[in-house]
A and B are shown apart, each in its own frame.
Chain A
Amino acid sequence: MSVTYIDAIHQAQLELLREDKTVFLYGQDIGDFGGAFKATKGFKEEFGPRVLDAPISEDAMIGMAVGAAINGMRPIVEMQFADFSSVAFNQLVNQAGTHYYRTGIPIPITVRMPCGGTPGSGPFHSQMVESIYAHYPGLVVVTPATVSDAYQLLKESVQLDDPVIFCEHKFLYRWLKSASIKGDGLPLGKARLTRAGKHATVVTYSAMVHEAVRAADRLAEEGWEIEVVDLRSVKPLDIDTVLASVARTGRLLALGEGFPWGGVTAEVVSRVVAEGFHLLDAPPLRLNAKDTPIPYHPDLWAAHRPTPESIVEKLRELLNL
């Protein structure tokens, strides 16, 4: 039997709802319909009033979740698409993000963000949001790349007392399968060495982990051993694991699917340069999507985001430096 990434998200929520009566779900079309991606299928039947259909009011959805959290609940909010969280931006960064610092009272909400590109989804159903939310203090930003991480990190996120932006990649939903939902138990906050190597390190997260592994496979045919580090959460950022890898390889490529200005890859590079300059044998490189909105046409889309081909090319550049 195999489990998909979306199955893992479904299973984690099912267990959370069963184990903790303060957990409830709020989102558009998540009730009888089971959600746009079927992540909440069957929950309305079993949990009734703890699975609520929301109006198309993202701002109010997050505000409501914050209020419920203040009064002892642990809401999970499903954004239909991460792109629409821009409407709730104010409540997320100013209400949820500042609350603990200002009042000493934590806000245990988890906002599930179906993010990332799939062919033909266009500019408003493809965006990555981890970098903007990570920029703001007070938010934890989780970016699972594997089936077991989708399961385990979602459970940890909801059990965490702080607000979590849970970035689940739509491309992985049904494509990514695993024999088991249980992983290695690595806790939230720790990066994982996905593949060991010695010539260069690729630091990445979410769907790009799989593209990096593909690129590493290709280069392995030529004798290059590329190490791949999966951040798993971009905030907290496990810089120790990154530095340990760079210490082994001496070369760094920070890879992300988001827009190129600033963001997670820039943060990784700047921290490695500041804390591990002496470990580097070559200038660190970054590879991101292009600095335009995400195009609709599949040919443009494929050229907009990093692909195994463009990652291989970037790694060759890095290995030749």
Chain B
Amino acid sequence: MLTARTLENKLSSLYKGGKIVGGVYLGTGQEALSASLGASLIKGRDCFSPLIRDQAGRTAFGEDMLDATRTHLGSARGPMRGRDGNIHRGRPHQGMPAMISHLGTAVSVISGMLIAKRMKGELDGIVGATSIGDGATSTGSFHEGLNMAAVENLPLVVVIADNQFAYSTPRNRQFACESLLERAVGYGVGGVEVDGTDLKATLAGMQQAVTSARQGFGPQLVVARLLRLCGHGEHDDASYVPQELRDSLMGRDCLEVGASQIIEDGLATAEDIEIWRKEAVEEVQEAVATAQRERGPDPYEEDWRATSVEGMQ
């Protein structure tokens, strides 16, 4: 969580300083949820398709920080080689697909990865997971994907970050149910609702869902209530979020809540956290500096080929 927050703050200033082109999309305020998911998965075995606000989950799932800085800064050495940018990155063969922008589309892709494992006899004890925003639950892709996973009884965990807004659109213009948890019944899947600002509660709910999926109880929906504490992207000041909501419990910073919980439970001291913070800053500086030293892709050396087999274009 701390590492992700530190990294994202740096990415934001790089964007504002004109060092990152295109856009920068952060997960500020959603780190507890995303990290809980990433930490509940087993690297090298499970599959995880992160979405736009999942830096913390990526880090917890073991993504190299260089993948993030290289992709944002357009280094030719990143996993996307400058061909795609920012959060549109992944390592599909390490269980992390590279998202496309079209929302909702990862639900069926992760399902397909699980189906392949089932066909090859490798599904036992495996979980596939993806995240989605409240707005993206309005897509046909989300519906078709989750319904299909339910029919196939796949070990899939779909985490909905109900952060009250989809870009500027409030949740009451996206759906008419009180809680998206009600959808779980409709799809015939398991479901759990958590307070996404509360690290302990979120982690507990997440582990329950991941365990259920792992044990063969089919798809699980995790619905987290929280607030995005940043703009949709760093170009957006989120002035459409009312002050009362920011001041409410939903507007709590999960990082602060988490820190006090960790200290209260005697897992670490405030000094420990301060040391982690310094370490995170150093790690981020190193990863940014490395990516900044590297060259971007050279158009003259590109093969400009979109098929793997030569002559198919």
Contacts and interface: CB of A to CB of B under 8 A. Distances in A.
Interface string B23-35: 1000000000000
B88 A299 contact: no
A292 B306 contact: yes
Given A29-B168, A124-B100, A296 B22 contact: yes
B305 interface: yes
Contacts of A171: none
B173 A53 contact: yes
Given A33-B168, A302-B299, A56 B305 contact: no
A25 to B, nearest CB: 14
Given A293-B306, A297-B85, A124 B102 contact: yes
Interface in A99-135: 119-125
A59 B138 CA distance: 10
B276 interface: no
Contacts of B74: 296-298
A24 B102 CA distance: 26
Given A53-B173, A300-B299, A300-B302, A84 B102 contact: yes
Nearest to B138: A55
B203 to A, nearest CB: 29
B80 A296 contact: yes
A269 to B, nearest CB: 20
B268 interface: no
Interface string A285-305: 000001111011111101110
Contacts of A86: 102
A296 B88 contact: yes
A29 B169 contact: yes
Interface in A66-121: 81, 83-84, 86-87, 119-121
Nearest to B80: A296
Given A29-B167, A122-B88, A55 B174 contact: yes
Which of A59, A290, A300 has most B Cβ within 10 Å?
A300
A58 B104 CA distance: 12
A122 B174 contact: no
Interface string A42-78: 0000000000011111111000000000000000000
A119 B21 contact: yes
A129 to B, nearest CB: 14
B149 interface: no
- Kindly state the interface size class of chain B when it binds its partner: 35 or more
A225 interface: no
A58 B296 CA distance: 35
Contacts of A55: 135, 138, 166, 169, 173-175
A120 B82 contact: no
B83 A33 contact: no
B313 interface: yes
B84 interface: yes
Contacts of B302: 300, 303
B141 interface: yes
Contacts of B297: 295, 297, 299-300
A120 B136 CA distance: 23
Contacts of A60: 140
Nearest to B140: A59
Given A83-B101, A297-B74, A28 B167 contact: yes
A64 B22 CA distance: 32
B103 interface: yes
Given A32-B240, A296-B88, A291 B313 contact: yes
A18 B201 CA distance: 52
A86 B23 CA distance: 22
Interface in B289-313: 296-300, 302, 304-306, 313
B139 interface: yes
A56 B136 contact: yes
Contacts of B80: 296
A280 interface: no
A8 B168 CA distance: 24
Contacts of B173: 31, 53-55
B21 A298 contact: yes
Contact of B299 (A56, A87, A122, A299): A299
A36 interface: yes
Nearest to B143: A57
Contacts of A121: 22
Contacts of A293: 83, 306
Interface string B71-84: 00010000010111
8 contacts: A29-B167, A29-B168, A32-B168, A55-B135, A87-B140, A123-B88, A297-B296, A297-B297
Given A57-B139, A57-B140, 4 more contacts: A119-B21, A119-B22, A293-B83, A304-B304
Interface of A: 28-29, 31-33, 36, 53-60, 81, 83-84, 86-87, 119-125, 290-293, 295-300, 302-304
Interface of B: 21-23, 74, 80, 82-86, 88, 100-104, 135-136, 138-141, 166-169, 173-175, 240, 296-300, 302, 304-306, 313
Q: Nearest 10 CB-CB pairs, A to B?
A: A120-B22, A120-B21, A303-B299, A33-B168, A124-B101, A297-B82, A55-B138, A296-B85, A292-B306, A297-B74
